[in-house]
Structure 1
């Protein structure tokens, strides 16, 4: 065999052939490397002379298999199913029969080629790392043909875990600590997304919020409780979509005061988060040496000033709080006689308290007088209004109709216009007005009287209040006396009109 790369002797043997006969020679192919531009050359020689020579068509020698691979999709979620399908052929285009090996994330799988094709299915793990993954496909057959192909797929990062870390579980007020929210994917890798952080404390009837902020995952934020924050447990919450997590940070009690010297005044301030109740030692060193004990009680944030008096001179004053010793130098004076040294509350503080108390009492007194005055004015106006109503005459009422109504209307005390229904508080009412014919009032006295009697009975039934105005019978129905006062007015009107028709009287309601 003659090839571009080299020549090979494939077969050599004596040959004896009869006339018009042939012989087939089978050759084993021991080559396993790629050769190009190859030819098979056959020689027939006798006594060292070439009798006949044959050269085949050009061909190549290759063990390479052509492999093509496809997936059911490119982007996957954890736990989803992956389907791999592929084909394998020889260089000549013939289908390859053999084995298929697959390598996926360090794991090996095996299947077979059937008619040059294969298919393989597997499920991704729930904690598979997000990002690009490679599947390596290797095919081979019993003749040494071999081929490889790589294909990639992508796994989505799914938020799966939410953590919160704090640098200190217990802190003093006015001390900085860090909070780090961590959003993790299915493989517990850090995800860079925004996470909500909140610090709260539940009280008896409400929840107090100290921090609300949106921060990046895995980026710490610094926080500091104010110096007056109450001791106790505070909840640090983180949230992302439907995911939540929390931890507890304890604010420790801090009993601490600040002491400064301003001239001959010592100023104590509670800078802790609990009331300060201790005995403080104040020592004078100078013209005299003296130690004074001061019972000090301070609420949170409270400040108290004390005036220091001693015989004139320069003094070294030390204040011992029990936890620290503070030294001051001051020029003091103001005491004479046998008094050696003293510490007293500053006078202006007492005066300020008295002024505040006096202003408070004055404010309460003014509010009380204002309320009394408003009631007095309101009562006077009501009396004047009532007097005006009672003194007014209802002119224009038909005398005959008035006499008839008063005779029967008194049965239900219906003719008192200054009753509580029409005077005083505002109320919701329905009004019924019945118009009598003026000519009939004069000519049909008997029928009018019978109609009035019937009307009074109906008004009484429906808890109404009535009076005569000119040639009108006016009836008021109150929501207090009759729940459906509008219905009562309609039914009363219907009854009066029906009775008037029977008596052949002309009325309008």
Structure 2
């Protein structure tokens, strides 16, 4: 009994092996699309039969790759090569760990672990890392699967921040990519490479990426200038800011040259400013009115803006030692009346004071203390009380920065010396004649006999021309203007033409002013049609009042109001055109001239002549024949 039990125990402990299974070991790495080739050998040690089943396990998934029914005699051997492709249909995850397991007649065996991946390793080389806008970029790259095999597929090159994506062929693991950097890109440029392979159905199998960053050098393309808008009152600060913009419209860091140019095209100040930082231009009340140019530049890149400094017509009054001092603290000449009240008597005095000048006027009145007030343009100025002497209340002539003071002895001495000189010269000519001469001498010595008091107020046409310097054209233009009896003068780059009744013998010169402006424009346009070097011009025309007097064949005049500066302003606004004031437009409406609105409110432009009169046609024909 004991022997039977022992025999049964030995039979249980000794495994009963009927067959042996051998597997060829796989590689350690596979890419999608690779084929697994494995030999399976089954050798029977005793009669064996059943299914030989082979499975592949990846992660939590398993796939049967071989099944065959075997019936083997002792020492009989079965040998089979198993082929398996890692395709997309298996739904394997990237880099899953896998193994193969074979079973037969209660016998099983597992292979070593291996990995299945979609990964492609990439490398890209570039000869340089800093490029110019518009430069050609050439890049060489490699693409190798994780199993060490070269890639044969496609690489997409995506260039950021552009939306440009370019495909290139990868052959035997190598590729060459090239593209041109856009002209409007600057700074960091990110180049993203995406390499991939596809199966026969066009489904992606393996993939890899690589990123390369290069830099595109900034190139100055423009300057953005920010200046206070609208008309500016002199004495106010003006904020100026300039930005340097590259080819992508991004701000650059650097210095700019700032040049501030006055209305006469003279450089007032030059500074170096930082891009993007505010610069304050401090104006003064005495600054010349008109268009000032704010110009900033870096090398040959220049931009500018015009600002208009308004006219300031302002006077300051001061009373000292019986003398009224009038100082012009504005930026234009003051010509007009002021009302001086001495005690209870009002005296209107016509005065002329240039910018920054001081005129003095001697006050006189019967001996006593008097309250003095001055009125100008509705404003009243109380100057206090001062002692005065004299026979009658009066305001003497204007002198500039020279005052005798309130010294009666000096005045008596001067009168005595004058009378003595006259008596010595004319002693023998009789008392009556001497008295007449004294009266005439006194009359001549009375100050205030200026153009304003002796001239006549008339309406005149003003024409201001601003043109490129061309002696031939200028000579023709001046000659043409003078043929219409225009007065011609120069103010910086401006050619000023005056059409006044004293010169043209015409009471209304509005039509004549525009006619001459149109003929000047025709002269320039005809020249431009026949020559390659084009001439730029600006013409402004206006109508206003002047106080004029003609002596010895020469006209002396003073403009009333701001007609001169406003006409200059029209010429500055004009760009190869004729601009006229609203007042002049009203006068010539209904004539042969075609008028249109300009971009400036209240200003009109001359667009042509409605009907070409014979005289105008003849003028054009003659000028063409001569030139």
TM exceeding 0.5: yes
User: In the aligned structure 2, how far is the partner of 1:113 from the partner of 1:257?
Assistant: 86
Report the structure number with the largest CA radius of gyration.
Answer: 1
Structure 2 equivalent of residue 82 of structure 1: 137
Cα displacement (A) at 1:115: 0.9
Q: Give matches, 1:102-501, under 5 Å.
A: 102-105=157-160, 106-128=163-185, 130-143=186-199, 144-168=205-229, 170-200=231-261, 208-261=266-319, 265-283=323-341, 289-306=344-361, 308=363, 315=371, 317-322=372-377, 324-328=378-382, 330-334=384-388, 341-344=393-396, 349-351=402-404
Q: Deviations over 1:146-174 (max 9, x none)?
A: 21111111111112223544324754543
Cα displacement (A) at 1:35: 4.4
CA spacing shift, 1:332–1:35, aligned 2, 3 Å: closer
User: In the aligned structure 1, how far is the partner of 2:255 from the partner of 2:236?
Assistant: 26
Which of 98, 102, 109 is matched with 1:38 structurally? Answer: 98
Q: Is the 8 A contact 2:192 2:210 kept in 1?
A: yes
Q: Deviations over 1:87-127 (max 9, x none)?
A: 22221111122221221122222122211221111001112
User: In the aligned structure 2, how far is the partner of 1:17 from the partner of 1:258?
Assistant: 130
Q: Is the 8 A contact 2:56 2:65 kept in 1?
A: no
Q: In the alignment, is residue 16 of structure 1 matched against residue 73 of structure 2?
A: no
CA spacing shift, 1:214–1:318, aligned 2, 3 Å: same
Cα displacement (A) at 1:307: 5.1
User: In the aligned structure 2, how far is the partner of 1:103 from the partner of 1:336?
Assistant: 98
Q: Is the 8 A contact 2:219 2:247 kept in 1?
A: yes
Q: Deviations over 1:351-390 (max 9, x none)?
A: 49xx9xxxxxxxxxxxxxxxxxxxxxxxxxxxxxxxxxxx
User: In the aligned structure 2, how far is the partner of 1:202 from the partner of 1:314?
Assistant: 45
Cα displacement (A) at 1:300: 2.2
Cα displacement (A) at 1:54: 2.9
CA spacing shift, 1:346–1:149, aligned 2, 3 Å: closer
CA spacing shift, 1:3–1:237, aligned 2, 3 Å: same
CA spacing shift, 1:195–1:107, aligned 2, 3 Å: same
Cα displacement (A) at 1:81: 0.8
Q: SS at 1:127's partner residue?
A: coil
Cα displacement (A) at 1:330: 2.2
User: In the aligned structure 1, how far is the partner of 2:93 from the partner of 2:152?
Assistant: 20
User: In the aligned structure 2, how far is the partner of 1:342 from the partner of 1:65?
Assistant: 107
Give the gaps of 5 or more residues in structure 2. Answer: 1-54, 200-204, 411-627
Q: Is the 8 A contact 1:318 1:325 kept in 2?
A: no
User: In the aligned structure 2, how far is the partner of 1:267 from the partner of 1:234?
Assistant: 32
Give the gaps of 5 or more residues in structure 1. Answer: 356-509
Cα displacement (A) at 1:283: 3.7
Kindly indicate which of the two structures has a greater share of residues assigned to strand. 2
> Over aligned residue pairs, what C-alpha RMSD do you find?
3.4
Cα displacement (A) at 1:249: 4.1
Cα displacement (A) at 1:303: 1.1
Q: SS at 1:177's partner residue?
A: strand
Q: Is the 8 A contact 2:351 2:398 kept in 1?
A: no
TM-score after normalising by structure 2:
0.48
Cα displacement (A) at 1:4: 8.3
Cα displacement (A) at 1:42: 0.8
CA spacing shift, 1:35–1:154, aligned 2, 3 Å: closer
User: In the aligned structure 1, how far is the partner of 2:262 from the partner of 2:288?
Assistant: 10
Cα displacement (A) at 1:136: 1.2
CA spacing shift, 1:17–1:78, aligned 2, 3 Å: farther
CA spacing shift, 1:17–1:150, aligned 2, 3 Å: farther
User: In the aligned structure 2, how far is the partner of 1:36 from the partner of 1:234?
Assistant: 76
User: In the aligned structure 2, how far is the partner of 1:188 from the partner of 1:36?
Assistant: 49
Equivalent residue pairs, number:
337
User: In the aligned structure 2, how far is the partner of 1:155 from the partner of 1:17?
Assistant: 74
User: In the aligned structure 2, how far is the partner of 1:131 from the partner of 1:54?
Assistant: 61
Q: Is the 8 A contact 1:258 1:270 kept in 2?
A: yes
Cα displacement (A) at 1:139: 1.6
Q: Deviations over 1:169-197 (max 9, x none)?
A: 75454343233333221222221211111
User: In the aligned structure 2, how far is the partner of 1:307 from the partner of 1:299?
Assistant: 19
